[in-house]
Structure 1
Amino acid sequence: MRIAVLGGGHGSYAAAAEMSERGHEVWFWRRDAGAFAAIEAQGGIEVRDHAGTRTVPIAHLTSSLEEALSAAELVVIPLPATAHEDLARACAPHWRDGQVVFLPPGTLGSLIFVEAARAAGNEARVRFAETGTLPYLVRKHGPASIVVSVYATRLPTGVFPARDADEVIALLQQAYPSVEPAGDVLSGALMNAGPIIHPPLIMMNAGPLEHFDAWDIHNEGTQPSIRAVTNALDAERIAVREHLGYAAPHFPLADHYSPDGDEWMYGNAAHEKLTDSGDWREKINLQTHRYMREDTAIGLSLFTSIARWAGKPMPVGEGLLALASAITGEDLYAAGRTLERLGLADCDRATLQERLHDGF
């Protein structure tokens, strides 16, 4: 399959390498062509994971977004939600009929891309899909090297428009066999683990994060009281899903921490692999880090707005968002990706369900 991978972050490098290693023809796009110099000199991306270390060649390195998109059947965008609006505008003129766009995870970013295409007058029939996490626990170890601690084993994925779900899921499974159907994109967005795991971890570890040069919120930062808050927040997410009629599995985050519970998105014992790697011992700036800017300001604001709209309150979520707003000095709900800002808050449930099924 012809696949475009967009972006220069950890997940984008992992996706370009994995899709290439699986035998797909990959166009790997970054705005900065010079950033590819190390990959070109090395002959590919060096990958270190459970299978060892090897260099994976990438067929096409390009700084032309038009080139990457015009070639692709599947477009993979493993970028933070903070990049969606600018990228959606840049992509808007170049979509063509039949393409599938995969946002892992998406935070309803699908609708940002749909609106940008509509604003650009592009009426191509493009389908979007969102899942609950990146397909990798990965860190870059240089300009052409990555270490993958864990690959996702289950990727619950929602599709827009949902009427095309069977076709879209079948195509995605050619690239990611771990993809499994999760209904529409609102269901997919409510699978996003980032707004559940990261806001409690950064807010409740604010002291050591600001005091120490580096701190691992997933290791010594994950203590019983913090886990209790995470579990309560996740219970609110699941209650909203159930209130909206979405069926199990809901992928409760507790399974991520359990070595022998139901298989979570990264499989069993993934948390231990993450902490053993040492790659998440880092300096987290509470003003700028993506755990605040993506998972809290965008992700948690979306979750709480859905809860408000559905009439199923998220008091723990609202409290964490209030704390984050106090830390940053901003009203993160007002600036967040809410149903109000997406123009959907005035829809009743039947109308929104119809739009998610049939398209806007």
Structure 2
Amino acid sequence: MKIAILGGGHGAYAAAADLSEAGHEVRLWRRDAAALEPVIRAGAITLKDASGTREIPLALATPDIADALRGAELIVVPTPAIAQHDIALEMAPHLADGQVVFLPPGTFGSFVMARTVAQAGSHADVAWAETGTLPYLARKHGEREVNLTIRAVRLPTGVYPARKAAEAIAVIRKAYPSVHGCGDALSGALMNAGPVIHPPLMVMNAAPLQHFERWDIHNEGTQRAVRDVTDRLDQERIAVREAFGQGAPHYPLADHYNNDRWMYGDAHKQLVKSGDWRENIDLYAHRYVTEDTELGLAFLASAARYAGVDAPIAHGLLAIVGGFLGRDLRLGERTFETLGLAELTPAQLTQRLHDGE
């Protein structure tokens, strides 16, 4: 299958190498041509995982998005949500009927990017899908080298518009057999683990993150009190899903720590053992704040408001992060209110998610 990978981060390089090795024709696009040059020059990415280190050739690495998208059946966009608007504008003139765009994860980006593309003048009949996490726990170790710690074994995925769910899931499963449908885009967005796991880690590790040059939030930073807050925040997420009529499995985050039933299987020990997450995190600029809190947690809190679910942990964490950022995160760009969804009745919202705008 012809697959376009859009992005230059850990997830994009992991996806490009992994899917190329699986036999797909992969085109990797990155806006930063200079940063992509080592991959263009080598024609390959160095992949490291439990099987060892090897060179994985790519069909194409290019800073020209038209070349990457041309003829692609599946478009994978494993980028932070803060990049989705700009990428949608770049994609818009080059999308074609029948393509499937997969956002792992999406932060409701399937809805937002579809709207952006349409407003940019594209009439392409495209399906947009999003899941709860990246298909990989991965970190880049060099300008064209990526270390893949673990692959996801379960990827619950929602589709926008939901009327195209069956065909979209069938296409994505050619690349990621671990994908399974979980309903519409809202259901997919409320599977997102980032806004549950990362905001408590940022807030409750704020002092050591600013004091030490490097700090492992998943090792020393994940103590009993942090876990308790995370579990309660996740209970709020699940309550919101249930209020919208979304059924199990909800993939409770406790399974990430306690057993092998979560999206990555039994991954937490491997994540800590890798040492790749002992890093410097800027509380004012890191994606755990700019993506998972400002966008993702704000979206979850707004969904709770719409559904009438009491979510004190979500709103409390949002208020604290807003306190050190100096702005009210309840008014963010990715909330029900800002997106114009708060004014819809539940029946109208369901129809909008099923049919599209």
So what's the TM-score if we normalise by structure 2?
Answer: 0.98
2:264 maps to 266
Q: Give the aligned partner of residue 160 of structure 1.
A: 160
Matched, 1:95 2:95: yes
Match of 1:338 in 2: 335
Corresponding residue number in structure 2 for 1:150: 150
User: What does residue 182 of structure 1 align with?
Assistant: 182
* CA deviation after TM superposition for structure 1 residue 38, in Å: 2.0
Paired amino acid for 1:7:
G
Q: Which moved more, 1:218-227 or 1:65-74?
A: 65-74
In the TM superposition, what is the alpha-carbon distance from 1:139 to its structure 2 partner? 0.3
* Distance in 2, Cα, partners of 1:178 & 1:162: 19
Q: Secondary structure at the match of 1:71?
A: coil
Note the 1:207-356 alignment, pairs <5 A: 207-258=207-258, 261=259, 263-268=261-266, 270-356=267-353
- Structure 1 residue runs of 4 or more that deviate by more than 6 Å after TM superposition: none
Cα deviation, residue 112, structure 1: 1.7
Q: Which moved more, 1:187-196 or 1:324-333?
A: 324-333
Q: Report the counterpart of residue 205 of structure 1 in structure 2.
A: 205
Q: Answer yes or no: is the 8 Å Cα contact 1:88–1:112 preserved in 2.
A: no
2:350 aligned counterpart, secondary structure: helix
Structure 1: runs of 5+ lacking an equivalent? none
1:25 alignment partner in structure 2: 25
Question: Do the aligned partners of 2:158 and 2:189 also contact (CA within 8 Å) in 1?
Answer: yes
The CA deviation string for residues 258-316 of structure 1, in whole angstroms up to 9 with x for no partner, is 1xx35100012x00000000000011111111111000000000000000011112110
Distance 1:128 1:47 in 2: 28
Give, in whole Å, the separation in 1 of the partners of 2:209 and 2:34. Answer: 33
Q: How far, CA to CA, are the matches of 1:67 and 1:118 in structure 2?
A: 21
Q: Which amino acid aligns with 1:179?
A: V
2:138 alignment partner, SS class:
strand
Change (3 A) 1:262 1:216: closer
Shift of the alpha carbon at 1:85? 1.1
Q: Secondary structure of 1:286's partner?
A: coil
Structure 1 position 41, deviation (Å) = 4.2
Deviations 1:176-195 (A, max 9, x none): 01101111010000000000
1:63 is matched with 63
Q: Aligned equivalents of 1:37 and 1:358: distance in 2?
A: 41
8 Å Cα contact 2:238/2:250 also seen in 1: yes
Inter-partner Cα distance in structure 1 for 2:176 and 2:237: 26
User: How many Å separate the matches in 1 of 2:289 and 2:121?
Assistant: 34
Paired with 1:336 and 1:321, the residues of 2 have a C-alpha distance of: 14
Deviations 1:199-232 (A, max 9, x none): 0011000111111111000000000001000000
> In the alignment, what sits opposite 2:173?
173
Mapped to 2, the partners of 1:113 and 1:336 lie a distance apart of: 13
- Contact 1:92–1:113 under 8 Å retained in 2: no
Matched, 1:7 2:7: yes
**Post-superposition CA distance 1:116-143 (Å, at most 9, x none):** 2221221111000000000111000000
Mapped contact 2:127–2:168 kept (Cα < 8 A): yes
Between 1:233-242 and 1:111-120, the stretch displaced more is: 111-120
The answer as to whether partners of 2:92 and 2:117 remain within 8 angstroms in 1 is yes
- Contact (CA 8 Å) 2:36, 2:63: kept in 1 or not? no
Q: Please list the CA deviations of residues 48-94 of structure 1 after superposition, one character each: whole Å capped at 9, or x if unmatched.
A: 10111111001111111112122211100000000011111121122
1:5-27 CA distances to partner (integer Å, 9 max, x unpaired)?
Answer: 00100000001111111111111
SS at match of 2:27: strand
> 1:34 & 1:202 partners in 2: Cα distance?
32
Q: State whether structure 2 residue 119 is matched by structure 1 residue 119.
A: yes
Deviation at 1:252, TM superposition (A): 0.1
Partners in 1 of 2:57 and 2:220 — Cα distance? 38
Q: Counterpart amino acid of 2:262?
A: W
2:356 to 343, 355, 359: 359
The Cα of 1:35 is off from its aligned counterpart by 2.1
Q: How many residues are matched? A: 357
Shift, 1:31, TM fit: 1.2
Matched, 1:80 2:80: yes
Gaps of 5+ in 2: none
Q: Percent identity?
A: 57
Mapped contact 1:251–1:265 kept (Cα < 8 A): yes
CA distance in 2, matches of 1:68, 1:304: 36
* Alpha-carbon distance, 1:355 to partner: 1.1
**Helix, strand or coil for the counterpart of 1:141?**
strand
2: distance between equivalents of 1:121 and 1:49? 42
Structure 1 counterpart SS, 2:146: strand
| 8 A Cα contact 2:43 2:61, kept in partner | no
